[in-house]
Every structure is written in structure tokens, then in C-alpha cells.
Amino acid sequence: MPASEKRLLTSIHDVAPCFESEVDRLADLIEARLGPARFAMLVVPDHWGRAPLSQATAFQARLRGWAERGVEMFVHGWFHRDTAQYQGAAGFKAKHMTAGEGEFLGLSHAEALRRMRDGKALVEDVIGMPAAGFIAPAWLYGPGAMQALGECGFALAEDHFRVWQPGHEDTPLAKGPVVTWASRSTMRTASSLAFAALARPALQPLRTVRLAVHPGDVTKPSILASVDATLRAFTRRHGPGRYADLLK
């Protein structure tokens, strides 16, 4: 894709053996609009300590197949579960921005570094190629995680409002809010549907637009319809791209 063109970056979060059928449905929906393998997957090594990728050989083979077709594979935390105790602003984020899943918000530098390195080693061993980057669960990073990011050799990282190269946080490669959906309550679903409807025209001027879907999205037809409408709206002006395009 020429550097002057607008791009659409689409990702499936929480890719883990326990969500295989949901990931399949989301991949089918995305590929129907964007074409084969024009999206990223965010892989959780052991979702909530109950779905170890290291023991799921059949799912490992599927991940390798997707990667060989061109799907970008990001490391997405380790457990995706947050067990830290917080005070102040971090406590507000942990309570209101995620349902106990901001794993890297309260980790020490040493623990964040260990989980990032272990996740990178596992995912790269499974797919047989370098991981595309690291994206923290719920897009939340504490100071320890931010320090560790620059030491792990990841090419890219992302939060709610930007994509950057670790070590170069002050010069983002893309800026703008991620369009995503929430399925865990009626109120959150309604607000995410409203934001997506607003974003479809409002974010068109952005050079890079990012969409993120989650396994829980398949439980609500209203969300699936909104995802499809949003993909259709942005593909009118934005070509399906890859995160790696940002490094060119």
C-alpha cells in the first residue's frame, strides 16, 4: 500500500484456545469485507490461567496456518487477568476501563518483563516467525510495563489512542481512538454501538483507522451488525492494511 493511502487496521483480541469458535466467526466476518488474512490476531498465552496455548497443539497449528497466510500475530499479555491492588488514578482505570483484565497496569518492571519475554518466546515458537508486537490487555500499561516494553525487542505496541515503536513513545506511528465494542452489559453495549455509529463518519479523515473486535462480540447480533456496518463504511476510503505498514 503506498504511504499516501489511507489504511484500515483490524484486529481480533483475546485469541486463545477457549475462544476458537468465536475467533472463527469473527475472522469469517472480517474476511468477507476485507479479503483473506487482512487483519491481526492478539494471542493470549494462557487466558485467565485456564487455556494454556502451550498445551493446545491443534490450536497452535491453526495459529501457524493463519500466520503463514499473512495474519499478523501480536502477543496480548500472558493471563489477560489483573490481580493487582490499586489506589488513585490507576484504581479508576482498573475499575472503569476493564472488567479485571488490565493485566499489565499494576505489574512491576521485573514481572512485566518476564511475562512479555515468555509470551514472545511462546508465540514465536508456535507461529515460526517474529511476533508483530505487543498489545497489553485492555490497552492498559503501568510504568513497569512501559519500561519493560523497550527491552523486549517488540516492533510495535498499541494503546487506545496510538500505535508506537517501543522506545519511541513520543513519536507515534498512528493516532486516533480504536473503534471497539463492549458486550458485558446492556449499557456498555449501547454506548459502544453509539460510538461506532459516530465514528463511521467522524474518523474518515484519519490516515489510519483501527477497529478491534473481541470474542464476546459474537454473543450479540446488534454488535455483529455494527461491526459489519463499520467495516463497510471505512473500506470505502481506507484500504485493508497491516500494522507492519506503519514501519515503512
Report the C-alpha gap between 49 and 133 in whole angstroms. 22
pLDDT score at 82? 82
Above 50 in pLDDT, residue 89? no
* pLDDT tens-place string over residues 231-240: 999 999 999 9
Q: N- to C-terminal Cα distance for the chain?
A: 10
Above 80 in pLDDT, residue 3? no
In a 10 Å sphere around its CB, with 0-12 CB exposed, 13-18 middle and 19+ buried, how is residue 159 labelled? middle
Above 90 in pLDDT, residue 99? no
Domain ranges of the chain: 7-247
pLDDT score at 84? 58
pTM over 0.85: yes
* pLDDT tens-place string over residues 166-214: 999 999 999 999 999 999 899 999 999 999 999 999 999 999 999 999 9
Above 80 in pLDDT, residue 244? yes
What are phi and psi for residue 215, nearest 5 degrees? Answer: -55, -40
Strand partners, 133: 74
Q: Are 75 and 107 in contact (CB under 8 A)?
A: no
How would residue 91 be classed by pLDDT, with cut points 50, 70 and 90?
very low
* pLDDT tens-place string over residues 119-163: 999 999 999 999 999 999 999 999 999 999 999 999 999 999 999
Q: Are 246 and 173 in contact (CB under 8 A)?
A: yes
Report the C-alpha gap between 192 and 198 in whole angstroms. 10
> What's CA 223's distance to the chain center, in Å?
17
- State which CATH number among 3.90.1150.10, 2.60.320.10, 3.30.470.20, 3.20.20.370 fits the domain covering 7-247: 3.20.20.370
